[in-house]
Structure 1
Amino acid sequence: MTMTGSSTFGFIGLGVMGEPMCRHLVQKTRVKVLVHDINAEPVARLVQTGAIDAGSISGLAKANVIFISMPSGEHLKKICEMAGGLLEFARPGQTIVDLSTSPLKLTRELAGTFAARGADYADAPVARTRAAAEAGTLAISVGATPEVFTRIEPLLRCFASEVTHCGDVGSGQVVKILNNMVVVGTVTALCEAAAIAESAGVSTRTLFDAFSKGSADSFALRNHGYKAVAAREFPERVFSTDYMHKDISYALDMAKDAGIEAREAALGASLLTEASQSGFGANYWPVIVKIIERSSKQ
């Protein structure tokens, strides 16, 4: 893919998801890509693939299109609003694309502040796993004007196989956050079913094999269910308990603002909180099955 003119891309936040996304952007475009992260290791690896170390946020802010991949809304707010942050250097013709899962209110506030400086803003939170980020097969829900979406869609497709325009700014976050809310509810049900089945003498794998042939089949079953719950594998540096709790808290905030009592989401949040308090905060979040199993033995 090529871009005309003097386009330059920037990418800040080179963590578990950010680094592979940025690598695809570097490898699949013929455009200068400036990168920045507080950790030197991913920067060095990306420089080897052709990226340029921006050295600072101010250096990165020279880019025409800036991608952000942060672990939380607090991190996003900081890199935008701090002295020497992205807002300080925002200008007409610049486009900011937030790939993080961020609070709806903050997303709309930042979009308005960037717009006041002439810059466009899009929320494009990514879904699926680290393996999907490595393979370039993420799913992205986008909140942006039609014009901005048309401009950034080809870039997002460098690391995503599914890119959906959900509406104006903030819409991408709504869809992503509610997606995760539903996934947590589904996996919670799978974990409860597994614990009950095991206590009744039926193995989790036998149960899940039967589910996969019937109406309880789902993406969550075939991925989180088989690969984590049945396999009893909850590694670190995959989507963690603490990260998922953050997303569920965003869903509960949205529900509160809408005057809706999201009971299932509240249950998921409580299980994630208990898992974190039990020392599983950094583990892959389906580790909540251990909390459910433990409750049956009390």
Structure 2
Amino acid sequence: MSRFTRVGFIGLGVMGEPICRNLAQKCGLPVLGCDMNPEPLARLAPHGVQAADVATLARECDVIFLSLPSGEIVEKLARGDQGLLATCRPGQVIVDTSTSPVDTTRKLSAEFAERQVTFIDAPVARTRAAAEAGTLSVMVGATPEVFEEVRPLIATFANEITLCGGVGSGQVVKILNNMVLFETVTALAEARGIARRSGVDPKVILETFTLGSADSFALRNHGLKAILPGEFPEKAFPVSYARKDLNYALRLAEQTGIPAHGARNVDLWFEAALARGLGDRYWPVISRVIDDEDGGAPVNAASGHQP
């Protein structure tokens, strides 16, 4: 039987809100939510989520989930004057579902351990639609014992849960998953542009790829659903967020002595997209920077596509 009696959740943004909703609906425990924006809290209230501040969560919750935009914000929340390190209590477990730098995660875990608090990483993969459906993939960095404790809670919003190793290992796998995705989509965008300029319809090359060895999740989702129709909505995973994750991968590559030339190539395209003012658009918009067939015309901002 779980020792947890109350769940806290900090960060109710694009992913955090549906994750928190699934927790509240399925975990069988009271859930307290915290966010600077009152709107998601209002939407979650009918599902039993009670609004609270960080100090209240630290005082009343045995386990606290974080879903924040960056590792820098996680650090700020932890180390602020009234942050989690100042207000936590022995025996608590903090589960960071954000994507954060590996070294930051391991340093925070050590600092919390000095206060007898367990801090683990459990970054999430897949889309907001998957978060809504409770079918995320979660990569966990924790001891096997802590993993087994938190797994039933994570299972309320994920159908694939992997213990990747000790603290920080979940971040390693998540960051490199994104790096490989970014590189694959960049290759697709380059192939599309070369094909178009060689007189081959982009639809033909991308759809034919699905029949051969170039087939992939990236092709069927980012290639056929975003690059081909030119749909790069603003309410999806934007270039600015993608570049943040890629920079975490490049930081890890530098720390481990791997040149990562492929990832650095992607970063050049992200930088070019930002220079074009496309930082808020769904990140496969780099395909239109790679092959600027419209001469710099605004890209399609259709909003119905999920990342």
What is the match of residue 56 of structure 2?
Answer: 59
Q: Does the residue aligned with 1:279 lie in a helix, a strand or coil?
A: coil
CA distance in 1, matches of 2:99, 2:67: 9
CA distance in 2, matches of 1:207, 1:161: 33
CA contact (8 A) 1:64 1:93 kept: yes
Say whether residues 1:188 and 2:181 are aligned partners. no
Q: Does the residue aligned with 2:291 lie in a helix, a strand or coil?
A: helix
TM-score, normalised relative to structure 1: 0.96
What is the match of residue 46 of structure 1?
Answer: 44
Q: Does the residue aligned with 1:283 lie in a helix, a strand or coil?
A: coil
CA contact (8 A) 1:36 1:57 kept: yes
What is the match of residue 174 of structure 1?
Answer: 172
Specify whether residues 5 and 162 from structure 1 end up closer, same or farther in structure 2 by C-alpha distance, changes over 3 A only.
closer
CA distance in 2, matches of 1:192, 1:219: 17
Say whether residues 1:240 and 2:247 are aligned partners. no
What is the match of residue 97 of structure 1?
Answer: 95
Specify whether residues 107 and 4 from structure 1 end up closer, same or farther in structure 2 by C-alpha distance, changes over 3 A only.
closer
Specify whether residues 141 and 25 from structure 1 end up closer, same or farther in structure 2 by C-alpha distance, changes over 3 A only.
same
Q: Deviations over 1:213-256 (max 9, x none)?
A: 11000010111111110121111121110001001100110111
Q: Deviations over 1:42-72 (max 9, x none)?
A: 0111112111111x11012121110000101
Q: How many angstroms does 1:19 deviate by?
A: 0.3
CA contact (8 A) 2:24 2:49 kept: yes
CA distance in 2, matches of 1:228, 1:149: 36
The one of 208, 211, 222 equivalent to 1:210 is 208
Say whether residues 1:124 and 2:133 are aligned partners. no
What amino acid is the match of 2:55? S
Q: How big is the alpha-carbon RMSD for the aligned residues of Structure 1 and Structure 2?
A: 1.5
> What 5-or-longer segments of structure 2 have no aligned partner?
297-307
What amino acid is the match of 2:142? A
Q: How many angstroms does 1:277 deviate by?
A: 1.9
Q: Does the residue aligned with 1:294 lie in a helix, a strand or coil?
A: coil
CA distance in 2, matches of 1:203, 1:150: 51
Say whether residues 1:18 and 2:16 are aligned partners. yes
Q: How many angstroms does 1:103 deviate by?
A: 0.5
CA distance in 1, matches of 2:283, 2:4: 43
Q: How many angstroms does 1:130 deviate by?
A: 1.2
**How many positions carry a matched residue from both structures?**
295
CA distance in 1, matches of 2:285, 2:3: 49
CA distance in 2, matches of 1:204, 1:131: 27
What amino acid is the match of 1:48? P
What is the match of residue 305 of structure 2?
Answer: none
What amino acid is the match of 1:218? S
Q: How many angstroms does 1:201 deviate by?
A: 2.3
> What 5-or-longer segments of structure 1 have no aligned partner?
none
